[in-house]
Structure 1
Amino acid sequence: MTKLSVNINKIATLRNSRGGNTPNVVQFAKDVQRFGAEGVTVHPRPDERHIKYQDTRDLKSEVYTEFNVEGNPIQSFMDLVLEVKPTQVTLVPDAVDALTSNAGWDTITHKSFLTEVISEFKSNGIRTSIFVDPELQMIEGAKATGTDRIELYTESFAHQYGLGDMKAIEPFTSAAELSNEIGLGVNAGHDLSLDNIKFFKDHIPGLLEVSIGHALVSESLYLGVENVVQMYLQKLK
């Protein structure tokens, strides 16, 4: 079964819009785990516009499933991850002012940098994953950095699937097949939803984990958090 990791950034965005501590980020993480989620994901950015660095510290003792921390490995992010020591760190090439993640790594151009960063994290017992587009050359480049896994950036699939293009899955299937062949674990995330997750999962061999936040939180406004988590788990079986 593919693991569901719930990205709770949107809960922090809602909290920050009003100030105070409602909704409570830590309590939400505890709740989604209680409802069956197998992981919690956060993506702290330098401006702390949603998840704050302190949130990441506070969550460490409360995430008893898998804790995945995403971000661009600038020094402050690296220091935070090495302090918290989550289960997994996912490296994302976000610009400081990016609204949301919008591209995978060029693993060839940035090979030396990624190799150094990954070595540091792995030497501290942290599983590593690299956010990549479904391009075979980038998958091979990722393998050369020493990473444990890749996370497929799925926005293009979600967009085209929503337009009725079933062939949009093909580059992702090929990327997963190559990853399996060369010994890379496969994660995925970005714009996956209840509408497309089963089709995606059924066509991605060896899919280990999906990270879902925006859609899951939005769907929960109508259907309830516990119900939505259970619906994702059913579709991921």
Structure 2
Amino acid sequence: MKKLILSGGGDEKQTRIIDEYFVSMLSPDLPLLYIPVAMDPPAENYRECYEWFTEVFHPLGVSCIEMWTDLDDKRIDDLNVFSAVYIGGGNTFHLWGKLKDTPFLEMLELYIAEGGIVYGGSAGAIILGSHLETCALSDDNTTGLTDYSGLGCIGGYAILCHDEKGQEEFIKSLTIKWKKPVIALSEETGLAVAGNCLTVIGNKPAITSDENGILEVNIGKVIEWKE
């Protein structure tokens, strides 16, 4: 069964409930994999990413964390040793560019299909949805990407992160332009995906947009789709 956590982004205080939910799903005997490549900082700054990540998850009881910044030579057997994969935020277009040209993307799809747990934070959540242009308000397409299709792990839904009041028209425009439903997540909102069901988690409701209009979906409510 598909098991995903999608977060709208934010700092460790804003995502605390979402992070705790994620940790409750993990096996304490296996390490957690952190992938920060959406940031594309100089190599020394990846160490800062790792320090931030451990400062978030060590207090939640996750003691064994490994970070991958080079995905070119990885195999599915390498991925299967982890309790879960956390794909961090940054520039969505850059992240997709880093993933699509390596075998890792196909490995990730297989890992998810076989029940592996994946947490997508901000850009990491967007690529798990059906379309990438939901990030257009915050991310520059510096990669020359022309195909905006994401992994489509949650049916036809596209994910918009860092949602704020006043973005409703942009959200509606995405639904009209691409004929895809959109789920907008604030920096305190997440989704727990189990099979073909999405449960809203965190501190604030999610926003959905489809052919029926825009709807607020409260915490604990479930959204279902057909594969």
TM range (shorter): 0.3 to 0.5
Higher helix fraction: Structure 1 or Structure 2? 1
TM-score, with structure 2 as normaliser: 0.39
Higher normalized contact order (CA 8 Å, seq sep 6+, divided by chain length): 2
Higher strand fraction: Structure 1 or Structure 2? 2
